[in-house]
Amino acid sequence: MSCSNLTMLVSSKPSLSDPSNLSFRSVLNPFQLPTQNPASCTPSRSSSTQIQCGLRELRTRIESVKNTQKITEAMKLVAAAKVRRAQEAVVNGRPFSETLVEVLYNINEQLQTEDVDIPLTKVRPVKKVALVVITGDRGLCGGFNNAIIKKAEARIRELKELGLQFTVISVGKKGNSYFIRRPYIPVDKFLEGGTLPTAKEAQAIADDVFSLFVSEEVDKVELLYTKFVSLVKSDPVIHTLLPLSPKGEICDINGVCVDAAEDEFFRLTTKEGKLTVERDVVRTKTIDFSPILQFEQDPVQILDALLPLYLNSQVLRALQESLASELAARMSAMSNATDNAIELKKNLSIVYNRERQAKITGEILEIVAGANALQ
Amino acid sequence: MTLNLCVLTPNRIVWDSEVKEIILSTNSGQIGVLPNHAPIATAVDIGILRIRLLKDQWLTMALMGGFARINNNEITVLVNDAEKGSDIDPQEAQQTLEIAEANLNKAEGKRQTIEANLALRRARTRVEAINVIS
């Protein structure tokens, strides 16, 4: 009987150690090991005291895991609510983006015959690149922040190999703290992210980028952010922000155009109590401009007014997608943490019950031994 | 005969309904738009948009620069930011204006002066938007 107890205790250890990385496990071990030997060899009162300590520690541990589970579950639900709100912000911004793309496309058609020189669309030989890196403000969201920082590091290595200079504009506390600790990476500006991206924040970034590019301090501006693909998948991407394509297209670093006129957006719905993501492809209709359209000012002036709007819109969209991705990652991470806590609680309960059973068995043996002694 | 006015910012739709008339600040001065206006595309300056409602009331809106398109009695205004005059807090706007004026006096260097000038124009526009024409 004592032999079977020992084997069960030994078998329970691997399952206990696997889900748990906490250092608290090492505190449990000294209590477990001494309790086995005295219990199997000679039942005595000192062994019952140690068993009692072990049981109390286990009970405390179970309570602690329960509390952690409540916290992670609450964080998961909060992140889910915020994802929905972030999605609404993206949807609210859509009419502006659609109209802007439409207007840019049509005006550009009107200006095809004219040779228009616009600073934001000027393509220069690239000697220096600015990287706008968008990270989150808080952790507990899986590999979200690490993924974008690794992407930035990889891009920096590529630029070094190409012999190009670079500078970084860091947005978000996680990125800021990373680059502050690395003085060898030149940083033009550190910017704080907010809880919800606003046009003013995007304007601050766009203004900084605008002045860098127009003053020819940099020849190209790239935007690194996490693109929201679905609730379970996010994709760190690099888009070329400046120089702008006159037709209002977004290009990635390889020159492949990501046409903004065709835009997938994701609708969060609740099916049978579970969150799902439905995809709709929205094709922006291009209405023909009137051929007798007059320009109040010189076309260059009009495009000068339009393109900064477009720049601002692109930056804001990147901020919004990054936030949605961060919240989705946090939702996933907290969901995993909750599942781990449940499993850990189950394992600890099993160990606790076994310890309790062993203690009761020991006490019964003492009683039986005492009765035998009386005879 | 009415106009359809749509004012869009990157965050939201500020205005989307029918109006009788608007007065818009463009880069080359103010223009009034009545029904059956010729198709036009214009850059919008930082300034006041005055809206005449169907009931002949006037509303003011502070626009922070952008673009406007008029076509087939539909006016589309794309701006970086816009605020209705009724939504602006008078005291806060006045304080912002005073701060902007102080910053302009302190500004050193070309870049700071340009930025301070822009901030001042924005603040002044918001203050002007509060005062409604009766």
DSSP annotation string for A131-177:
EEEE--S---STTHHHHHHHHHHHHHHHHHHTT-EEEEEEESHHHHH
**A3 given a catalytic annotation:** no
Q: Distance between CA atoms of A49 and A206, rounded to whole angstroms?
A: 68
Is the CB of B114 inside 8 Å of chain A's CB atoms? no
Condensed to tens digits (0 to 9), the pLDDT of residues A82-133 reads: 888 887 887 787 788 888 877 777 777 766 655 556 667 777 788 889 999 9
Average pLDDT per run of 10 along chain A, which is 375 residues long? 36 36 34 35 38 75 93 91 84 81 74 63 82 89 89 91 90 90 87 78 84 84 86 84 62 43 40 45 50 72 80 86 89 92 94 93 95 88
B38 and B64 assigned to the same domain: yes
B66 and B105 assigned to the same domain: no
pLDDT at B100 over 50: yes
Nearest-CA distance B50 → chain A (Å): 19
B78 and B114 assigned to the same domain: no
Q: Distance between CA atoms of A191 and A169, rounded to whole angstroms?
A: 8
The number of folded domains in chain B is 2
Closest CA in chain A for residue B29: A296
Q: Spell out the residues 6+ positions from residue A358 whose beta carbon is closer than 8 angstroms to its own.
A: A5, A35, A39, A51
Contact of B48 with B125, CB cutoff 8 Å: yes
End-to-end CA distance of chain A: 25
Are B27 and A93 an interchain contact pair (Cβ–Cβ within 8 Å)?
Answer: no
Q: What is the CATH number of the domain that holds B69?
A: 2.60.15.10
Judged by DSSP in three states, A284 sits in coil
Q: Distance between CA atoms of B39 and A291, rounded to whole angstroms?
A: 9
Nearest-CA distance B73 → chain A (Å): 12
Question: Which amino acid, residue A141?
Answer: C
Contact of A220 with A243, CB cutoff 8 Å: yes
B59 and B25 assigned to the same domain: yes
B52 and B74 assigned to the same domain: yes
Nearest Cα neighbor of A191 from A179, A139, A325 is A179
Nearest to B66 among A95, A198, A305 (CB): A305
The domains of chain A are located at 66-284+298-337
Condensed to tens digits (0 to 9), the pLDDT of residues A196-231 reads: 787 778 888 888 888 888 888 888 889 999 888 777
B20 and B72 assigned to the same domain: yes
Is the CB of B65 inside 8 Å of chain A's CB atoms? yes
For residue A105 the two structure tokens come to 């496309």
Instruction: Give the range of the structural domain holding residue B104, as residue numbers without chain letter.
Output: 90-132
Q: What is the CATH number of the domain that holds B102?
A: 1.10.287
B94 and B73 assigned to the same domain: no
Contact of B29 with A281, CB cutoff 8 Å: no
H/E segment holding residue B44: strand B40-52
Q: Distance between CA atoms of B48 and B61, rounded to whole angstroms?
A: 6
Nearest to B41 among A93, A293, A309 (CB): A293
Point out the domain boundary residue: B84, B106, B123: B84
Going by CATH, does the domain composed of A66-284+298-337 fall within 3.40.1380.10? yes
Cα A95 to the center of its chain, rounded Å: 27
B21 and B49 assigned to the same domain: yes
Instruction: Let me know how long chain A is.
Output: 375
Nearest to A93 among B10, B27, B38 (CB): B10
Is the CB of B28 inside 8 Å of chain A's CB atoms? yes
What DSSP state is assigned to residue B87? G
B95 and B76 assigned to the same domain: no
